[in-house]
A and B are shown apart, each in its own frame.
Chain A
Amino acid sequence: MANLKISSLKLGLFVLAGLFLFILTLYIIGKNQNFFGSSFEVRARFSNVNGLIPGNNIRFAGIQAGTVKHIRVINDSSVEVVLSIDNEMKPYIHKNAVASLGTEGLMGNKVVNIVPGKSAAPLIGSGDLLATPKTVSTDEMLLTLATTNNNIAEISEGLKGTIRRINQSKALWGILDDGSLAGNIRNSLRNLSQASLHTNEMTRDLGDIVSDIKEGKGSIGSLVRDTVLSSSLARAVEKVRDAGASIDRLAGQLDETVQDIHRQVAEGKGTVHALLQDSALARKLDASMENIRAGTDAFNQDMLALQHNFLFRGYFRKLEKEKKKAAAKNETAGTH
Chain B
Amino acid sequence: MTPDAPYEIRSAPAGQAEQQTPAHVQQGQPAIIIEGLCKKFGTHIVLDHFNLTVGKEENVVILGRSGVGKSVLIKCIVGLLRPDSGRILVFGKNIPDLDHEEIDRVRAKVGFLFQSNALYDSMTVRANLEFPLRRHWIAIDQKEIDEMVQEVLDNVGLGHTADMMPEELSGGMRKRIALARTLILKPEIILYDEPTTGLDPVTGREISRLIVEMQKKYHTASMIISHDMGCVKTTADRVALLIDGKCYTEGTYDALKRSNDKNIAQFFE
A contacts B directly in the complex (CB < 8 Å)? yes
Which residues of A are interface residues toward B (Cβ below 8 A)? 1, 4
Residue contacts A-B, CB under 8 angstroms, 5 given: A1-B122, A4-B122, A4-B123, A4-B124, A4-B127
Q: How far is the CA of A4 from the CA of B128 in the complex (A)?
A: 13
Q: In the complex, which residues of chain A have a beta carbon less than 8 angstroms from the beta carbon of B122?
A: 1, 4
Q: In the complex, which residues of chain A have a beta carbon less than 8 angstroms from the beta carbon of B123?
A: 4
| Closest A residue by C-beta to B124 | A4
Nearest chain A CB to B151's CB is how many angstroms away?
24
Q: In the complex, which residues of chain A have a beta carbon less than 8 angstroms from the beta carbon of B124?
A: 4
Q: In the complex, which residues of chain B have a beta carbon less than 8 angstroms from the beta carbon of A4?
A: 122-124, 127
Q: In the complex, which residues of chain A have a beta carbon less than 8 angstroms from the beta carbon of B127?
A: 4
Interface Cβ pair total, 8 Å cutoff: 5
Q: 5 closest A-B pairs (Cβ-Cβ)?
A: A1-B122, A4-B122, A4-B123, A4-B124, A4-B127
Nearest chain A CB to B206's CB is how many angstroms away?
30
Nearest chain B CB to A68's CB is how many angstroms away?
56
* Proximity string of chain B (120-131) to chain A, C-beta cutoff 8 Å, 1 when within and 0 when not: 001110010000
Nearest chain A CB to B127's CB is how many angstroms away?
8
Which residues of B are interface residues toward A (Cβ below 8 A)? 122-124, 127
Q: In the complex, which residues of chain B have a beta carbon less than 8 angstroms from the beta carbon of A1?
A: 122
| Closest A residue by C-beta to B127 | A4
Q: How far is the CA of A3 from the CA of B127 in the complex (A)?
A: 14
| Closest A residue by C-beta to B123 | A4
Q: How far is the CA of A229 from the CA of B123 in the complex (A)?
A: 85
Nearest chain A CB to B131's CB is how many angstroms away?
13
Q: How far is the CA of A251 from the CA of B220 in the complex (A)?
A: 134
| Closest B residue by C-beta to A2 | B165
Q: How far is the CA of A127 from the CA of B249 in the complex (A)?
A: 99
Q: How far is the CA of A1 from the CA of B127 in the complex (A)?
A: 15
Q: How far is the CA of A1 from the CA of B124 in the complex (A)?
A: 12
Q: How far is the CA of A1 from the CA of B166 in the complex (A)?
A: 13
Q: How far is the CA of A278 from the CA of B123 in the complex (A)?
A: 128
Nearest chain B CB to A277's CB is how many angstroms away?
128
Nearest chain B CB to A22's CB is how many angstroms away?
31
Q: How far is the CA of A261 from the CA of B178 in the complex (A)?
A: 136
| Closest B residue by C-beta to A1 | B122
Q: How far is the CA of A4 from the CA of B126 in the complex (A)?
A: 13
Q: How far is the CA of A306 from the CA of B155 in the complex (A)?
A: 110
Nearest chain B CB to A145's CB is how many angstroms away?
91
Q: How far is the CA of A116 from the CA of B123 in the complex (A)?
A: 73
Q: How far is the CA of A4 from the CA of B122 in the complex (A)?
A: 7
Nearest chain A CB to B128's CB is how many angstroms away?
12
Q: How far is the CA of A4 from the CA of B120 in the complex (A)?
A: 12
Nearest chain B CB to A311's CB is how many angstroms away?
80
Nearest chain A CB to B180's CB is how many angstroms away?
20
Nearest chain A CB to B88's CB is how many angstroms away?
37
Q: How far is the CA of A304 from the CA of B122 in the complex (A)?
A: 90
Q: How far is the CA of A139 from the CA of B198 in the complex (A)?
A: 101
Q: How far is the CA of A4 from the CA of B127 in the complex (A)?
A: 11
Q: How far is the CA of A1 from the CA of B167 in the complex (A)?
A: 12
Nearest chain B CB to A3's CB is how many angstroms away?
11
Q: How far is the CA of A1 from the CA of B123 in the complex (A)?
A: 9
Nearest chain A CB to B153's CB is how many angstroms away?
19
Q: How far is the CA of A4 from the CA of B123 in the complex (A)?
A: 7
| Closest A residue by C-beta to B121 | A1
Nearest chain A CB to B120's CB is how many angstroms away?
11
Nearest chain A CB to B197's CB is how many angstroms away?
27
Q: How far is the CA of A4 from the CA of B121 in the complex (A)?
A: 11
Nearest chain A CB to B167's CB is how many angstroms away?
10
Q: How far is the CA of A238 from the CA of B122 in the complex (A)?
A: 97
Q: How far is the CA of A335 from the CA of B127 in the complex (A)?
A: 117
Q: How far is the CA of A1 from the CA of B121 in the complex (A)?
A: 9
Nearest chain B CB to A5's CB is how many angstroms away?
10
Q: How far is the CA of A138 from the CA of B45 in the complex (A)?
A: 95
Q: How far is the CA of A4 from the CA of B124 in the complex (A)?
A: 9
Q: How far is the CA of A315 from the CA of B12 in the complex (A)?
A: 109
Nearest chain A CB to B223's CB is how many angstroms away?
34
Nearest chain A CB to B35's CB is how many angstroms away?
44
| Closest A residue by C-beta to B122 | A1
Q: How far is the CA of A197 from the CA of B148 in the complex (A)?
A: 123
